[in-house]
Amino acid sequence: MPINDITQKVSERYAKAASTGEEMCCPTSYDMGHLKTFIPEAVLKISYGCGTPAALKTVQAGETVLDIGSGGGIDCFEASRLVGPTGCVIGIDMTETMLEIARTNAAVVAANLGYPASNVEFRKGLADAMPVDDGTIDLIISNCVINLAPDKQKVFQEMYRVAKPGGRFTISDIVSDHIVPQYLVHDTQKWGECLSGALTLTDYMNGMTAAGFRAIHLVKSSPWRVIDGIHFFSVTLTGYKLPQTTIPPSMFHATLRGPFSRVVVEGGTTYQRGIPQPITSKEILLLSTPPFAGHFLLTTKPVALDRDDPRWTAVLPADAPCTWQGHYALLAGPFVEAADDDHHVYRRGEPLEICSKTVAVLETEGYQPHFVILNRAGDHARGEAVTCAPNGGCC
Tens of pLDDT, residues 17-47? 445 455 555 556 678 889 999 999 999 988 7
Q: Are residues 209 and 113 in the same domain?
A: yes
Largest Cα–Cα distance of the chain, in whole Å? 71
Average pLDDT over residues 354-377: 95
User: Cα separation of 66 and 375, whole Å?
Assistant: 35
User: Cα separation of 225 and 231, whole Å?
Assistant: 6
pTM of the model: 0.89
Q: Are residues 176 and 83 in the same domain?
A: yes
Residue pLDDT, tens place only, 319-351: 989 999 999 999 999 999 999 999 999 999 999
Q: Are residues 139 and 106 in the same domain?
A: yes
Q: Are residues 47 and 159 in the same domain?
A: yes
> Domain residues for 275?
247-314
Lowest mean pLDDT among 12-16, 269-273, 306-310, 340-344: 12-16
User: Cα separation of 172 and 215, whole Å?
Assistant: 16
CATH of the domain at 198: 3.40.50.150
Q: Are residues 236 and 251 in the same domain?
A: no
User: Interior CA angle at 228 toward 227 and 230, to 5°?
Assistant: 65
Q: Are residues 138 and 182 in the same domain?
A: yes
Q: Are residues 200 and 306 in the same domain?
A: no
CATH of the domain at 310: 3.40.5
Domains: count for the chain: 3
User: Cα separation of 293 and 298, whole Å?
Assistant: 9
Q: Are residues 226 and 83 in the same domain?
A: yes
E strands, the chain, are 64-68, 88-93, 120-124, 137-143, 163-176, 214-227, 230-240, 252-256, 262-264, 270-272, 277-279, 296-299, 327-331, 337-339, 345-347, 352-354, 371-375
Q: Are residues 168 and 233 in the same domain?
A: yes
Bridge partners (DSSP) of residue 112 are none
Amino acid making up residue 272: Q
Q: Are residues 14 and 63 in the same domain?
A: yes
Q: Are residues 297 and 393 in the same domain?
A: no
User: Cα separation of 167 and 135, whole Å?
Assistant: 9
Burial of 162: CB neighbours in 10 Å, binned 0-12, 13-18, 19+: buried
Residue pLDDT, tens place only, 48-77: 777 778 777 889 999 999 999 999 999 999
